Amino acid sequence: MAAQCAAALCGLLLLSFSANLARSDDPPSTPVSPSAACNSTTDPTFCRSVLPPHGKDDLYTYGRFSVAESLAGARKFAALVDRYLARHRHLSPSAIAALRDCQLMAELNVDFLSAAGDTIKATDTLLDPQADDVHTLLSAILTNQQTCLDGLQAVATWSDRGGLDAPIANGTKLYSLSLSLFTRAWVPTAKPPKHPSHKGGHHGHGGKRKPSATARRGLLDVTDDEMVRRMAIEGPERTVAVNSVVTVDQSGAGNFTTVGDAVAAAPKNLNGNAGYHLIYVLAGVYEENVTVPKNKKYIMMVGDGIGQTVITGNRSVVDGWTTFQSATFAVVGQGFVAMNMTFRNTAGPAKHQAVALRSGADLSAFYGCSFEAFQDTLYTHSLRQFYRGCDVYGTVDYVFGNAAVVFQGCTFYSRLPMQGQSNTVTAQGRTDPNQNTGTSIQGCALIAAPELSANAAFTTLTYLGRPWKNFSRTVVMESFIEALVDPSGWMPWSGDFALDTLYYAEYNNTGPGADTSRRVTWPGYHVLGDGTDAGNFTVTSMVLGDNWLPQTGVPFTSGLLS
C-alpha cells in the first residue's frame, strides 16, 4: 500500500526541513552560546569546532561568521586546484578534465559566497526574493562541491584523487554549516502561503498540453524585420525588452556562422534591466559544442523551431569527457533564455553518460525546446530553472542534477535503451536537507518514444526516478503517465540507499500509469492528497517564478493547474 502523507505533517516537511532540526521559541536575534547554536545544524560536532568557543552571539552573527569562513575556505581550495593544474604534465588527461570541472566549481563558489556574504552583512531581515536568492546560492555551493567530487571519484587511475579528498570533505562540511545557520536565522519557520490553487502569472495553455508549433513561434518571430527594428519581443501578455540583436546563419548572410562565435561576441555581465542580448539562430544543423560562460548574462537565444534549429554534438564519458563536460550545450550565465531549438547529443546509448544540455544558470528558462540523447540527456545542474512546452528524450536518468526546477507542459519520451537497461526519467541529486532544490514535473506527459512503442518484444522497465543522492527530491503532479511506467513507480539506486531520506511524491496524475495502489512503500515516498502540500512545488514556491519569469516572455502557471 502506498504511503500517505498527512496534510499537517507534509506541510511541516515541505516548508522547512531545517526548521525541524531544532525548534526554538527564541528569535534568531537572541544571544545563545555557540554550542546551543550548533544544535540546530546538521553536524553539531563540526559546528562547535568552527564557531568561536567563548561568549554569546545571536544566530545572525554566527551565520555571517560561518559564511566568511566558507568564503576563505573556497578561496584556498580554488588556489589548491590551480596549483594542481599548473603541474598538469604529471596528470592523466582524465584527471585534468576532472580538475578543470573543479576549477570552475571553485570559482563559482567564491562568487556565490561573496554575493551571499554581502547580502547578509547588510541586514538581519531578509524577505523574498533576497532570502530565496541567498538560500539558492548557499544550496548551489554544495552542489558545485559535489560535482567536483563526483568527477574526481571517476578518475580511477589518479590515486586518492591527488590528495584533494580531505579538502573537499572539509569544505562540504563548512558549506553545509553555513546553509544550516542561514536557514535557521534568515528563513522563517512558517512562511506565508505561496501556492495559489488557481492559474496565475502567464497562464498560457494551462500546462496540460504542449503549445502548437504556431504558438511557439508566435512568441517571437525574429524573421520579421519590423520586430528586429523594434528590438522587442511581443509575448502573450507583455513586451520583453531586447537591447541588441544578432543573427547566426550558416550561409554567411548573418552576423555569425556559428553559435559559439555569437556567444563569444556577446556583451559581458548584462544585468537584465536594459533587456536581453538576442541571438537569433536560423534553421540549420550546427555541429558544435557551445558554452555560455558565467560572464555572459541575460542572453536570449531563439531558433526557427524544434528540428529546424539544431545544435548537436557527440561527447561522452566513454570517449574521455567528464559527464559535466560532455554537454553539447552548456550554460552558466545568469538569465539565459532559449526558445524554439533542439539540443542533441548523438553519442548513443553505448557511450553511457552523454549530455545534450547542461544548465547551471540561475533564472534560466527554456520554451518550446527539445533535448535529445539517451543516458543523462538534460543536466539541470544547479540554481533556479524553468521549462515550458519542451520535449525531453532519453533512457537512463535522463533528467538529472540538483537545481530547483519546474517543468510545465513538457513531454518526457522514454526511448529504447540498451539490452538489460531500465529507463529512469529522473535522478535528482539533493545532498543536504537544507537545500531548496528539487525537480517538479507539473502538467506534463510521460510517454514512450516511437522506437520504444514499436518494439513490443523488447521488455523495458520504466520508472519515474531513482535517488542519485541522499536527499533526492522529485514530485510528479497533475501529469499524464502512460502505461509504460512500472506499477512500483520508482526504482532504488542501490539497496536501501536514501529510501528513508529522499522525498518522492505524486499528486493528481492521470493515465494508465498513474495508479498509485502498487507503488513503492519507502518511508520517503508520499501520495499527496492535499493541494496545499503540492502547492509547495509550483512555480511560485519552488523557483519564486512570479518575480522573474514575466520578463522572459515565457508563459507559465503560478500555482496548481486546478
List the catalytic residues.
Answer: 397
- Say whether 471 sits in a helix, a strand or coil: coil
Cell of 207: 500546462
- The grid coordinates listed for 439 are 525537480
Sign of the torsion formed by the C-alpha atoms of 193, 196, 201 and 205: positive
CA distances from 503 to 3, 70, 134 (A): 12, 28, 23
State the angle between helix axes of 165-186 and 93-122 in degrees (0 to 180), rounded to the nearest 10: 20
Cis preceding-peptide flag for 129 (omega within 30 of 0)? yes
The alpha helices in 154-290, defined as continuous H runs, are: 165-186, 213-219, 225-230, 259-264
Length of the chain equals 562
- DSSP class of 528: E
Q: Which residues contact 206 (CB under 8 A, 6 or more apart)?
A: 199, 409, 443, 557, 561
Q: And the C-alpha cell for 35?
A: 554550542
Contact call for residues 29 and 125 (beta carbons, < 8 A): no
Q: Is the C-alpha dihedral spanning 416, 419, 422, 424 positive or negative?
A: negative
- DSSP notation for 190-218: SPPP---SS--SS-TT-SSSPPPHHHHHH
Among 255, 256, 259, smallest CA distance to 299 is for 259
Which one, of 413, 439, 427, lies nearest residue 505 by Cα?
Answer: 439
User: CA nearest 305: which of 435, 414, 210, 213?
Assistant: 213
Q: Confirm if 394 and 542 have CB atoms less than 8 A apart.
A: no
Determine contact, residues 547/387, Cβ cutoff 8 Å: no
User: Which triple of cell numbers denotes residue 463?
Assistant: 520508472
- Specify which residues 490 forms β-bridges with: 465
d(CA 357, CA 187): 32
| CA 11 from centroid of its chain's CA atoms | 23
β-pair partners for 242 = 276
Look up residue 428 and give its three cell numbers.
535528482
- Give the span between the Cα atoms of 439 and 436, in whole angstroms: 10
165-186 vs 130-153: helix crossing angle, rounded to 10: 160
Among 304, 33, 200, which residue's Cα sits nearest to residue 560? 200
DSSP β-ladder status, 525-528 and 445-448: unpaired
